[in-house]
Amino acid sequence: MSSQPVAESKLGLRTSLFKRYETLTVLSIFAGFVVVIVVLQLFLTGGTKFPTFISPVNLLNILQQVGVPGIVAVGMTIVMISGGIDLSVGMLASLVSIITALGISKWQLGVVPSVLLGIASAVVLETIMGFIISRTKVEPFIITLGGMITFQGIALLLCSSREVIMNGELDFLKANLIQGAKDPVSHLNLIVPPYVLIFFVIALLGGLLLGYTKYGRRIYAIGTNPQAAYLAGIDVKNMKLSAYVIMGVLVGIGAVMLLARINTGIITLGQGLEIDSIAMVVIGGTALKGGKGNVVGTLIGVFFLGSIGNAMNMLRLPSEVQFVAKGLVVIIAVSAGDVSNRISGFLSRRRELRWHAEQRATKGESVESTSNPK
């Protein structure tokens, strides 16, 4: 909790709802976006059809689309709260997919060993980057940018710049867990693959880790003020390193999920994943400078950005327009959050000044009444 709301609570002042719940701004924008899309669909169909955007089958479709970026976004949340950033996750996911696909189809290692090898490679490479970042004063932006280029080169060397096609060995990761369920509106099959549940489990664990453990409190402390955290006895270097290790585990898991979806290890599999995950985290209120953010806000950002792409596809807008829309939404959501904080701060200062004035007036009346007794 910041010092301003604490001071206001001590003074008996009521803080703004948007100040107390920092994710409420982006959640309001998200709700407004959903309303606009639903109204637009009703207008285009003349109000004769149920809006497909909020139909159960489409909502589950959005979950499938955001599952993997959401897994990576949870890891990015932890890294960014600690004061870091990771631009390499996209190419690292591509590298993991190629290693896993090669292990299954070319090296004949078996499914489980190949998956473990892919995830382990992500952990090792993230650990190396995290070690360099935590032991030097070089900006994480530069180190992870170099890592992104390096991982791309390694991936291209391993696959000889070709696709690595599998025979459906990972199809169990996209099996329908609610086989036979139907959408009551469109009567289409409802699909919930395992990686959607994995996404929610990882989000839950990430939220509990940051919000209810000593580790989470230390991550926030490091992101807020590394020097103060060091003086408080926190091992700043190893804590920063651990954030990148967690990032490696989640990128590895996400890459395997992506590989299961398309059944082909290819260099473009993780393309743009770093941009999407960072955008989701930033939209959710996590500060680039560290020390602020939470998984709940990240989930709002995940669903918001996923809904934008889904709605643009429903409206049959070209991909160029979708890029413009996503970029504008990131700018608007972040700017709206800053404007909301400024307005809340201004109103809080006015309430505080009014409270002090009332207190001085009350004290003045009491002094006057005691000095002039009837």
Question: DSSP string covering 346-373, please?
Answer: HHHHHHHHHHHHHHHHHHHHHHHHHHS-
Residue-wise burial string across 183-208, b where 16 or more C-beta atoms lie within 10 A, e elsewhere = beeeeeebbbbbbbebbeebbeebbe
Tell me the pLDDT tens digit for each residue of 271-314.
889 999 999 999 888 888 888 899 999 999 999 999 988 888 88
* Helix (H) or strand (E) run with residue 225 in it: none
Q: Which pLDDT score, from 0 to 100, does residue 112 have?
A: 95
Q: Specify the higher pLDDT residue, 232 or 48.
A: 232
Q: Which of 149, 142, 91 is nearest to 121 (CA)?
A: 91
Tell me the pLDDT tens digit for each residue of 241-266.
999 999 999 999 999 999 999 999 99
| Confidence check: pLDDT of 1 > 90 | no
| Residue 255, CA distances (Å) to 65, 115, 203 in order | 14, 10, 16
Tell me the pLDDT tens digit for each residue of 173-224.
988 998 888 888 788 889 999 999 999 999 999 999 999 999 999 999 999 9
Supply the pTM of this predicted model. Answer: 0.85
Mean pLDDT of 361-370: 64
Quick one: what percent of the chain has pLDDT higher than 70?
A: 89
Residues facing 165 on adjacent strands: 264
- 55-316 under CATH 1.10.1740, yes or no: no
Q: Which of 215, 212, 219 is nearest to 240 (CA)?
A: 219
d(CA 103, CA 175): 22
